[in-house]
A = this chain, B = another copy of it.
């Protein structure tokens, strides 16, 4: 079976990768240039570089290892994450550059960071379809989703005048619901019984823990990197708020996980995904969180919603809506994202000096529009992507081969010598 299935990957994946990469090289060669008129006193580089590296670590090492919890899918999880990340980043730089296009797209560390954050939305989405897709699918998702995300960012900025930071931070909501819609469209019969290889053991659980801790440790950089550095205490505030929200999430997720367990035990998946909920929620409400107390309450609420979602919602989604969400991105990024969105609205109303009812209503209309536009763009793009992926041309892996590295990887040494 394996030999008959495998060659198809070659006839689809190789031309796609090579054409895509050659196309990117052509575009970069003719229409980009490395920024050269930087601030002459030369302190810029050391200011932004460490934060750029932290985001880089988050995207490649954090997301890459977070999804290695599947016992037979470790190679695919980390390597496909890298592949998707580099393709999505190259594509995002081009799309982001078109907006401010004047003859050449200018490359600098800021445009790389922005592109990597757009990429993060794709890395969230592919968590929902992890193990049930092949690399060709993942590359198509990354191209279409980045396009949709950047289109949405552009709409928010143009129509509603949303700030860059706020429009990019919608990545958690965009990524989660994009992934869910995909998982629903790509539903496979028999998912309710569970897949044979969809489980974790001590080894894969520990690798996944490593990815989680990378994300947890570098999340303050992820949230603060786009905060305006002209005002240094805003950056201090962003880092401290994110740190406190993550700390509260870790404690709360542990408590809720034990509380909701029939045997009073911790669940590894909760300790990996829900401890990040505070970072997600504070990220989305970053521009209005000014006090530690606010950040901690947001972290607390987000962790409760996330842990409860993990315990009860994942199965419901599968049974009631036929949506098999491998990494539970709904509870990890979707719901905490909505908590952050709500916190953003409430804090803005609270901070407002004017106590007439007109202002809260204006804020509410504004935020609800933001959310609705994002959801519309996200779901319509996901439907297009999902329908494209259902096309049999891409040779979807059979259910028996799901969650298994052997569908995509050579194991020469094992085969020959064992």
Residues of B within 8 Å of A236, CB to CB, are 34-35, 38, 45, 108-109
Q: Does A203 lie within 8 Å of B203, measured CB to CB? A: yes
Known contacts: A248-B21, A251-B87, A266-B410. The answer to whether A258 contacts B203 by CB under 8 A is no
Q: Does A112 lie within 8 Å of B243, measured CB to CB? A: yes
Closest B-chain residue to A415, C-beta based?
B199
CA distance A69 to B22 in the complex (A): 32
Residues of B within 8 Å of A43, CB to CB, are 43, 46-47
Residues of B within 8 Å of A296, CB to CB, are 24-25, 28-29
Partner of A300, one of B2, B25, B64, B261: B25
Closest B-chain residue to A247, C-beta based?
B86
Partner of A233, one of B35, B213, B240, B244: B35
CA distance A214 to B235 in the complex (A): 26
Bitwise, A11-40 to B at CB < 8 A (1) or not (0) is 101100110111011001110111111111
Question: Is A275 positioned at the interface, with any CB of B under 8 Å from its CB?
Answer: yes
Partner of A74, one of B202, B254, B259, B294: B202
CA distance A17 to B107 in the complex (A): 47
CA distance A266 to B32 in the complex (A): 32
Residues of B within 8 Å of A214, CB to CB, are 61
Question: Is A189 positioned at the interface, with any CB of B under 8 Å from its CB?
Answer: no
A298 to chain B, nearest CB (A): 10
Residues of B within 8 Å of A82, CB to CB, are 213, 216, 250, 275
A29 to chain B, nearest CB (A): 3
Partner of A17, one of B53, B254, B271: B254
Q: Does B292 lie within 8 Å of A32, measured CB to CB? A: yes
A140 to chain B, nearest CB (A): 14
Residues of B within 8 Å of A251, CB to CB, are 17, 20-21, 83, 86-87
Stretch of A121-129, A167-175, A204-212, A365-373 with 4 or more beta carbons under 8 angstroms from chain B: A204-212
Question: Is A78 positioned at the interface, with any CB of B under 8 Å from its CB?
Answer: yes
Measured as residues with beta carbon below 8 angstroms from the partner, the interface class of chain A is 35 or more
Closest B-chain residue to A41, C-beta based?
B232
Residues of B within 8 Å of A291, CB to CB, are 29, 33-34
Question: Is A72 positioned at the interface, with any CB of B under 8 Å from its CB?
Answer: yes
A→B interface (CB under 8 Å): 2-3, 6-11, 13-14, 17-18, 20-22, 24-25, 28-30, 32-40, 42-54, 56-57, 60-61, 64-65, 68, 72, 74-75, 78-79, 82-83, 86-87, 89-90, 107-109, 112, 135, 194, 196, 198-203, 205-207, 209-210, 213-214, 216-218, 220-221, 229-233, 235-237, 239-241, 243-244, 246-248, 250-252, 254-255, 258-259, 261, 263-268, 271, 275, 290-294, 296-297, 300, 405, 408-410, 412-414, 416-418
Extra contacts, 13 of them, besides A53-B218, A53-B221, A65-B210 (Cβ < 8 A), are: A7-B263, A9-B264, A28-B293, A37-B233, A38-B232, A39-B232, A42-B232, A45-B47, A56-B220, A90-B244, A199-B418, A202-B405, A267-B409
13 contacts between A and B (CB under 8 A): A21-B248, A25-B300, A34-B241, A39-B232, A42-B229, A45-B236, A46-B46, A56-B220, A61-B213, A75-B271, A107-B292, A199-B414, A202-B203
